[in-house]
Structures are given as C-alpha cells and as structure tokens.
Amino acid sequence: MKINNQVFSAVAIVTTLTIAPAWADAQRSNVAFNNGIGEKTVNQPANGVQVAYQVTLQGDELYGCSIDIVESLYGRDKGAWGIFDIAGDVKCSSGGFAYTFSSAWDGNGFHASGDIGAGSGSGDFEGIAGRVVQLGGAAADAGDGTLDISYELVIDKASD
C-alpha cells in the first residue's frame, strides 16, 4: 500500500508539472493616485458604490501607460473591511489589453488578483494571456476626506 501511495504521488506531481501553465515575462509598474479623482458611474451596485477613473503607470516596464478603471466597492462592518471588483483597460503607445480582478481590504492594506481578458490584446499585446495582481496595496488618509492609494501592478503573462 505504501508503494502504491508513493507511485500515485509521483504520478500526481509529474501530471501537475506537465499540465500546469508556464508563467513568465512579468511586467511591473507602480500605481499612485488620490481616490478623489473617481467619478460615480451611472450603474451603481446594490450595497456598494462604483467609480471610474484613469491613472498613469509610473516606473518599470509599463511606464507611461494609462489604465481606465471601473471599480465596484462593497464596504462592510462600517468600512472596517470590504470587497472590490475592478475592470481595467490598459492603453500604451504600443497597444493595450483589458483585465478584471477581485479582492478585499482591511485596515492593513489590500491585494488583488485576476486575469487578462481573452482576446483583449492589441498591438504589442496581441494574443496576451495571463494573470494580473496588485501587491502592497495601501491607502493613506490625505486629510481632506480622500485617500492616497498606492500599489504595484504586476502583469504575469503566460508563456507560449
């Protein structure tokens, strides 16, 4: 029985390694903005708020690209924590792509993950596939009722 379990474990590991996608070519950029730039959209979700805004990426591989973002926020426990969904449309001089992700925040920050939209790539991003994450998300009180938001955006492209 012990040998069968070891063989099964070895087969499972090899199968996982064989069928798991290879991820490479991560591109990173910093995002920083004040949430006061957000404009409420026409479609407001129940028990939440939806805002749209545009930010320009700073540093690294996506420097100068802009993102049109639609963010749906669902605060919980009087804002002590919450959930958010984002649809982003990245536009660079060399092309662009779209992504979606979901996440949560608490008093210590936020992180998010999602996917690049299938078929959304154009120009240098034609055929792009992979994942998108927000790392190190922080919100600092700007002192005027708004928040200064910052995070690192990572585009983790699937390799061929």
Fold adopted by 22-158: AOC barrel-like (2.40.350)
Q: Which residues contact 72 (CB under 8 A, 6 or more apart)?
A: 45, 48, 49, 50, 84, 85, 86
Q: What is the pTM of this model?
A: 0.79
Q: Is the pLDDT of residue 144 over 50?
A: yes
pLDDT for position 159: 64
- The count of C-alpha atoms lying within 13 angstroms of the C-alpha of 30, restricted to the half-sphere facing its C-beta, is 8
pLDDT for position 16: 33
Show the CA angle centred on residue 22, arms to residues 21 and 26, nearest 5°: 120
pLDDT for position 94: 92
| pLDDT band (50, 70, 90) for residue 108 | confident
Average pLDDT of the residues in 95-115:
91
Q: Mark residue 31 as left, alpha or beta (left: phi above 0; alpha: psi -120 to 50; beta: remaining).
A: beta
**CA–CA dist 67, 90 (Å, integer):** 4
